[in-house]
Structure 1
Amino acid sequence: MAYEGVKLRELVDRAVNHSWSIPEFQRGFVWKPTQVRDLLESLWLDYPIGSLLVWNSGGPVEEQHAHDSQRPALWVVDGQQRTTALCILFGRKPYWYPSVDDWNRSLAKYDIRFDVNATEPPYFWVANAAIRRASRTRYVPVREVLVLDTEKEKDQRLLQELAKRVNFEGFCDGLDAMEVYTKLDRIRKIRDKDVVVITIGHDLEDVVEVFSRLNSRGTRVTEADIYLGVVAARNPGWVRETFLPYLRVLADAGFAVDPNLLFRTMTGVGIKKVRFRNIPDRFWKADRIKPAWDRTSDAWKRLIARFKEFGILSSDPMPTQAALVPLVAMVDKYGDDRDFSIGLYWFLQASRFGRYSGSGTTSLDEDLRDN
């Protein structure tokens, strides 16, 4: 295990230049715009943002997205959300981002601005329509400042010109252009703050266990994330090439379900359990996962087609998605023909009365066992 201090600008460089990547069992970027803003404000206020855990694989590993001939040995295990958020704040696309179009949408969604007039929190805002219509010298896009390296004459001149525009337009009342420059430069200097990076060298399945230990300490890693990591370790490429694309297929059909729920439908179909720790180890091997997945994806396809016949065009109106797990299992076992209306009635009643609230996994396991 090794420790090093890495400047934020260097961390972003590593993500952009593919010196770091993320293994396929890592989930995508899920932070809300307010979380990205809060990360920046923590850095502005000199609050700690925690260390990053990086895995030195020492060999080839399946990436979450398509890869090129450069295969990094260093993989972000804990800190992907923060690393991606920093790349967004700098306006620089990390290599692992799915596509340019996705990246451009993210830049618009996570458009964080600095209020030059602020003398107390909040200093930073998620840009809305009103902020975008306001002067860019009142609400300064932080990515335009964080990328500046004032050791370069061109960048120093850009920051000086911005400070002069702020002063000329009457913002930062009582401050001259040099004092405005100092205020803006405080944002720019965030790029030189250090974060601790811990590097470990273990087998892939040990890294999945690290996920589990982190989860027990309160890190937001779900049980399904951990076992999806097990599947990724034993079935290289399956998560990236099969599981994640199918989530997009479902979303395009109107059913934007959580990855954890989709994973539970597979175990519900394949072994009639959703409490992962009770699932035998042999189930996670390729010869069991593939047939279970084929049955699951087929059941989802048939279920969505029948839903639409009954006027259910998306998952949005559903009070809970948990009842989809046994319904998918029922479609797999009994088909989707004459008995579907009975299954649909059960689904609506289970959703209405909160059958799977509280100890939901216990009720799900009971219903799957009796199915």
Structure 2
Amino acid sequence: MSYQKTTIKKVIEDIDQNKIYLPALQRKFVWNKRQIELLFDSLMRNYPFGTFLFWRLHRKKAENYVFYEFLKEYDERNPYNRRKTGAFLHEEIVGVLDGQQRLSSMYIGLMGTHAEKARYKRVSNPNAYEKMCLYLNLLSLPYEIDEEDNIKINEEQNFEFRFLTEEGARSSVTRKVTGENGTFSEEIPMFWMKVGKVLSWRNEPEFDRIVDDFQKQCRTEAQKEAILQNKRFIKRALDTLHRRMHRDELINYFEVARDDLEDILKIFVRVNSGGTVLSKTDLLFSTIVATWDNGREQIEKLLKKINEKGDGFSFGNEYLMRCCLVLSDGPVVYKVNSFKSENVEKIRNEWPQIAAAIEKTVDLLAEFGFNGSVLSSQNATIIIAYFLYKGGSINKESKEGIQKYLIHALLNGIYGSQQDQLITELRKAFREEVKNDTNGIAYRGRYRDFSFEDVLEIKLPQQKSLAVTEDDIERFLHYKKGLGAFLVLSLLYPQLRYNEVIFHQDHIHPATGFNEEKYREMKIPQDQWQDWYDLRDCVPNLQLMSGRQNSTKNATPFKEWFMQMDESDRTAFSKNNYLPDDVDLDFENFIVFFKQRKEKLRLELRKVLKVQALTAGQLAVLTDWDGHNDEIDEQEYATSGGFSE
């Protein structure tokens, strides 16, 4: 079948009359207001509009699949399309496979509203999300007269389309213009016409009458005068807008008529291989929820809920889909064949329990002080969710074991590659086979408690290991302020209530003191300056401190700040923060302080991580440090797989 053409008005009317839908193969609406405004500017300029791909099918076939209605009233707080329920009203319906964002934008611009949070207003403010319609400023048209008295478009200026509230459009009657020197120059009148009005105009509108009506609506004499002076330009703009909507067949579409969703998926992948490409996750997710009633809504609801926990996370559909596969004892590999109908049915039936396990997992992450910027591998948490899903307890011992596993996994970067194999082996160790009621195989949890010692015994693929060596501890102690340092510090400060208080990585000796002027004042030899600077951000000069306490400490010299406490508070602070005994806390003594605190931290990490102590000779070799930091920084860590998914 060849390409066909139709008008924007016809398509918009079909959408509004429930003849055109979005199939489950769709993304959320993602265009912002500015993109919609520029789309209409392009239409006025007759720029290429792109092609569309429509899927036509009989309503009896359509009832086997999941479709969504177009958004008419977009709200940033709930940007999801509503699922089509009930019987279809027409014998045939059309699903939009390619061009969803463009058609959604036109529908909102011509017949709907758009609500985003206003700048400088709190989310809790009910007036922060005002419904806005699309308007065109008829007194700021990019037209000019050429030498032959013809109207032409000034390519340097846009048609001023803008989303405004009804009151905003009515009250925005002038705009202040400044001169070249930045001082006030003049006020220019504005007149905003709601763009959607064009759909109600006849095939041959009387533009003179329409412009006269606009004059009657003016609130100021300046507006009336400007409309009169610019009547020729205004009539041209109205004629162009009307022609683009009513007469020009700008919707150039190809129509397919297939009943098999697999065929449609293949076509969908092919036509979306250019431009803004839908990811594998988008396509798999859409395919899954196509056979799962309310699946999209339930998954997106859970995503919103877990991402708002603690200090915020950034989980996505892929994470939840991987969790679904693993927790339901399905295939671990994330591909289409893993989501066969029987697997999706099992996920659907077990969804409440799966969702509860995932939510409990994220609660633990927040309790441990993790957030979206610190959790460097989301997949490291899947086995935790599996343990909880299979009935594992969340007692004190399990929490300690889970936290140790997670920190070891992230510090050692074991999820940098071969993740499917890794998750498979871990799941195998955490479950055992049992006979079910039909004499088939089912799985139950092997462990009641999450013991890190048991996890250490699991043989992982590709010689991966959760074990930590003395070399690792030395490396950890030279991590600089950032993700890796937080993981190390969280091992050293297990008593902190991360889910209740925001903690900062604070420089014990303030970072502001590490400067040339201070070095000279303390008579530090110049050849040692770099050594001091290299040590400044390392773990032995870092502590976890509440944001409020850190703001009081700020750049105050550490000894001065420390001595402001009474003796009992100093004793407790020294113990909780591993301060070395009998060491002068003056900044001049920083190197001695650093080395001695480093050894206290080493002893604690060795105990926490269950690393055997080295001999005195081995330790001397390990700590014969030349002042140059060979820590894996965040960028290198990511490259090595430590922060990758």
Q: How would you bin the TM-score normalised by the shorter chain? A: 0.7 to 0.9
Query: What is the Cα deviation at residue 55 of structure 1?
Result: 0.9
1:335-346 map, 5 Å = 335=392, 336-337=394-395, 338-341=397-400, 343-344=402-403
Q: 1:124 and 2:147 equivalent?
A: no
The Cα of 1:68 is off from its aligned counterpart by: 3.4
Letter of the structure 2 residue corresponding to residue 327 of structure 1: T
Aligned residues: 349
The amino acid that maps onto 1:117 is S
2:359 is matched with: 301
Kindly provide the CA deviation profile for residues 42-78 of structure 1, in whole angstroms up to 9, marking residues without a partner as x: 2122111212211122222322314233355321122
| 1:21 partner amino acid | Y
Taking structure 1 as reference, are residues 350 and 49 closer, same or farther at Cα in structure 2, changes over 3 Å only? farther
| Alpha-carbon spacing, 1:230–1:116, altered in 2? closer, same or farther (3 Å) | same
Instruction: Give how far 1:245 is off.
Output: 4.4
SS at match of 1:197: strand
The alpha carbon displacement at 1:117 in A equals: 1.8
> Secondary structure of 2:24's match?
coil
- In the other structure, the counterpart of 1:224 is 281
SS of 2:87's equivalent in the other structure is coil
- Judge conservation of contact 1:146–1:190 (CA < 8 Å) in 2: no
Q: Which amino acid aligns with 2:295?
A: V
Normalising by the residue count of structure 1, what TM-score does the alignment of the two structures yield?
0.74
Contact 2:141–2:233 (CA under 8 A) maintained in structure 1:
no
For 1:343 and 1:23, how far apart are their aligned partners in 2? Answer: 41
Once the two structures are superposed, residues 141-192 of structure 1 have per-residue CA deviations (whole angstroms, 9 ceiling, x without a partner) of: 5534443414487997445422674994278699432432323443343313
Q: Does 1:212 align with 2:253?
A: no
Give 2:86's aligned amino acid. D
Give the structure 2 partner of residue 101 of structure 1. Answer: none
Deviates more, 1:31-40 or 1:46-55: 31-40
2:88 is matched with 70
- In structure 2, the partner of 1:332 is 386
SS of the aligned residue for 1:22 comes to strand
Q: Deviation string for 1:238-265 (max 9, x for gaps)?
A: 5356434444554676667433443343
Match of 1:98 in 2: none
Aligned to 1:368, which of 419, 423, 426?
423
Deviation at residue 324 of structure 1 after TM alignment: 3.0
SS in 2 for 1:57: strand
- Residues 264 and 170 (structure 1 numbering): CA distance in 2 closer, same or farther, change over 3 Å? farther
1:170-225 deviations in whole A, cap 9, x for unaligned? 78699432432323443343313321122111112211111222233444212122
Equivalent position of 1:80 in the other structure: 100
When structure 1 is superposed on structure 2, of 138-147 and 148-157 the one drifting more is: 148-157
Q: CA deviation at 1:128?
A: 7.8
Counterpart in the other structure of 2:563: none
Structure 1 equivalent of residue 231 of structure 2: 177
2:244 is matched with which residue: 190, 212, 215? 190
Partner in structure 2 of residue 52 of structure 1 = 52
Q: Name the CA shift for 1:122/1:260 in 2 (closer, same or farther; >3 Å).
A: farther
Q: 1:22-37 alignment to 2 at 5 Å? A: 22-37=22-37
SS of residue paired to 2:55: strand
Stretch of structure 1 that moved more, 162-171 or 47-56: 162-171
Do the aligned partners of residues 328 and 343 (structure 1) sit closer, same or farther apart at CA in structure 2, a change above 3 Å counting? same
In the alignment, structure 1 residue 11 sits paired with structure 2 residue 11: yes
Q: Provide the secondary structure at the position in 2 that maps to 1:26.
A: coil
Partner of 2:20: 20
Contact map agreement 1:230 1:284 (CA 8 A) in 2 = no
Q: Which runs of 5+ in 1 are unaligned?
A: 94-104
Match of 2:335 in 1: 276
Contact 1:55 1:76 in 2 (8 A): yes
Equivalent residue runs for 1:344-355 within 5 Å: 344=403
Matched with 1:201 is: 257
The structure with the larger Rg is 2
Distance 1:78 1:341, change over 3 A: farther
Matching residue within 149, 152, 161 for 2:213: 161
Partner of 1:267: 325
CA 1:18–1:322: 2 relative to 1, 3 Å: farther
Aligned residue for 2:272, secondary structure, equals: helix
- Secondary structure, aligned partner of 1:74: strand
Contact 1:53 1:199 in 2 (8 A): yes
**More deviation in 14-23 or 216-225?**
216-225
Change (3 A) 1:345 1:39: farther
- Map of 1:135 onto structure 2: 173
For residues 256 and 295 of structure 1, the distance between their equivalents in structure 2, rounded to whole angstroms, comes to 22
**1:113-135 CA-partner distances (Å, limit 9, x unpaired):** 54732533332355589x86632
The normalised TM-score by structure 2 is: 0.46
Q: Secondary structure of the equivalent of 1:31?
A: coil
Check conservation: 1:37, 1:112, Cα contact below 8 A: no
CA distance in structure 2 between the partners assigned to 1:31 and 1:354 by the alignment: 36
Cα distance in 2 between the residues matched to 1:121 and 1:351: 52
Report 1 or 2 for greater relative contact order, CA contacts < 8 Å, sequence distance ≥ 6.
1
Provide the aligned C-alpha RMSD in A: 4.2
C-alpha distance in structure 2 between counterparts of 1:152 and 1:351, whole Å: 68
Once the two structures are superposed, residues 297-319 of structure 1 have per-residue CA deviations (whole angstroms, 9 ceiling, x without a partner) of: 1222212433454566xxxx522
Note the C-alpha offset of 1:29: 1.3
Matched AA of 2:199: V
Alpha-carbon separation, structure 1, partners of 2:411 and 2:211: 58
Question: SS where residue 18 of structure 2 aligns?
Answer: coil
Distance verdict in 2 for CA 1:34–1:258, change over 3 Å: farther
Counterpart-to-counterpart distance in 1, 2:15 and 2:303 = 25
Aligned to 2:265, the other structure's residue is in SS state helix
Q: CA deviation at 1:15?
A: 0.9
Q: Does the 8 Å contact 1:167/1:176 carry over to 2? A: no
In structure 1, distance between residues paired with 2:306 and 2:208 = 49
CA contact (8 A) 2:191 2:223 kept: no
Structure 1 residues 47 and 167: CA distance shift in structure 2, 3 A = farther
